[in-house]
Structures are given as C-alpha cells and as structure tokens.
Amino acid sequence: MTNENQISESQELISQLSPEEQAIADVIEDLVQPCDRKTYGAKLKKAAETLNKSVRTVQRYVKEWEEKGLLAITKENRSDQGTYRIEKRLQDFILKTYREGNKGSKRITPKQVYLRAIVQAENWNIKPPSHMTVYRILNPIIEEKENKKRVRNPGWRGTKLAVSTRSGNEINVEYSNHVWQCDHTRADILLVDQFGQLLGRPWLSTVIDTYSRCIMGINLGFDAPSSQIVALALRHAILPKKYENNYHLHEEWGTYGKPEYFYT
C-alpha cells in the first residue's frame, strides 16, 4: 500500500478512543511531560493506581506509545464499535491548516491545528473533534514528511548523500563536519536511585556527523528535548573530550570541531 493510500484510508474513517483508551492516553501524556526524578516516580505510581494496572504495565504503555504513537493503545480494541465519521469539511480543514501552516519557514504544531479546528467547528455549529482525532488525521502526513527527510546512509554505489533544508534547498554532503544532525531518543533502560526508587528512562540526545556517521557529542538526562538540550549536546560535540583516568575508558573520544550546517 502506498503512502497516498494509507493517508486516504486513514482519512476515510477516524475512530474515537473508548473511555478506557482515553484514560490511558491522558496518563501517558502526563508521564511524558518533563519533570524531576522524584516527581516522575510519584506520577508513575499514581498512574498505575488510576488505571488499576501494575507499574510495569504502565511502563510498557509508555514505551509502546513512544514507538507506535496512538496505535499502541488502540490496536487491541478497535472494531466497528465506538466509531463515527468526522465531517469531511472539518477533516479537510484540519489537513489544509497543517499543510499551509508548515510551508516554507512557517511552522504549526498538531496541537495548534486542534485548537483552530475547535474554533472552526463552533463556527460551523458542528461537533468539534477531540485532540486524538486530530492527531490521527495528521499522523500519516507527519510520518510521510519524516520519511522524506531521512538521509540515506553513505557508502552505497550510485547514491548521493544529501539533506533538504526547510526552505527547500538541497545540501550535498561531501565531507566530515559538513553537516551535523541532532537526534533525540529515550534510552532503552530504566534507572533507579540508591533507594531503589524508579527514576524512569533518560533522554539521549546525539549529534552525528552526517557524512561519516560518527557520534560527535551527546547529552544524557531526564529533561525532554528542547533548544537548551540541543545546545548542550552541540557544545559537547564542538569541544575536545578530555576525561580523567578514573573513568576507565578503553578508547579516546577524538571527534570534535565545528559543522558548516547543523539541523535538528
């Protein structure tokens, strides 16, 4: 199935979350908000009590949410029950608002689209969509856009390594330190403190040289990705890495410098 077919199929019928699924979604959205370690542990325990699930089950929900998005909480119970169609004119408005709002250097988030959709629905005197409905409509477009932005790995004969800027220009990557990219992911590990209290999964931000794929720098912590986190990772990438012997490192980390282009 092509991306266009997937988008069309997703737009034809938008399923609403059941009350149970909505409760799970609300809990997950609260858990993924940045907070300190102690607060996260308390929120995780409260989430388990709210859903009447074990802490481990809630942790699984969060991990699947990060990997699959809404499909993680709708895949088991979705059928013809509890579904209805959203009006096509409102659906078209949501899609147009997102596309127009992300042309050129302009940027609009799904949440901003959701807020505008509510106002438009009220103007038309029709039922407004839930924020999950808006996200489900936009998700195929967002995924397709991300796929187009992905950079092909170097080393394959007959291919060209290039990245596209937000303004539509293409940069041909020809050497190291030409282009760096910053990516963020949850580390696949759960950390606890000295008392055994669960702290959660830290965020790992990496700055990668697009040409060589070398890791130039990192930032590891519990704060969610932001401009400050990107700046910390970039600072670590630019500076030489000097570590004391008590770190017991097996190899030196010799990568550093300044990129000509940097994108996130």
* Residue 248: per-residue pLDDT: 82
Can you give the pLDDT at residue 104?
A: 73
Side-chain-side CA neighbours of residue 220 (13 Å): 8
pLDDT at 257: 92
Contact 87, 12 (CB under 8 A): no
With 70 as the cut, is the pLDDT of residue 38 above it?
Answer: yes
Q: What's the pLDDT at 12?
A: 36
pLDDT in tens, 179-208: 999 999 888 888 888 887 888 889 999 999
Q: For the chain, what is the mean pLDDT?
A: 78
Per-residue H/E/C for the chain: CCHHHHHHHHHHCCECCCHHHHHHHHHHHHHCCCCCHHHHHHHHHHHHHHHCCCHHHHHHHHHHHHHHCCHHHHCCCCCCCCECCCCHHHHHHHHHHHHHHCCCCCCCCHHHHHHHHHHHHHHHCCCCCCHHHHHHHHHHHHHHHHHHHCCCCCCCCCCCCEEECCCCCEEECCCCCCEEEEEEEECCCCEECCCCCEEECCEEEEEEECCCCCEEEEEEECCCCCHHHHHHHHHHHHCCCCCCHHHCCCCCCCCCCCCCEEEC
Longest dimension (CA), the chain: 69
Contacts of 34 (CB under 8 A, 6+ apart): 222, 223, 224
pLDDT at 119: 92
Q: Quick one: average pLDDT of 117-121?
A: 92
Residue 56 pLDDT: 86
Q: Are 170 and 161 in contact (CB under 8 A)?
A: no
Q: Where are the domains of the chain?
A: 17-74, 88-149, 162-263
End-to-end distance of the chain based on CA atoms, in angstroms?
A: 30
Segment 69-91, tens digit of pLDDT: 666 666 544 444 434 457 889 99
pTM: predicted TM-score of the whole model, two decimal places: 0.43
Q: What is the pLDDT of residue 82?
A: 39
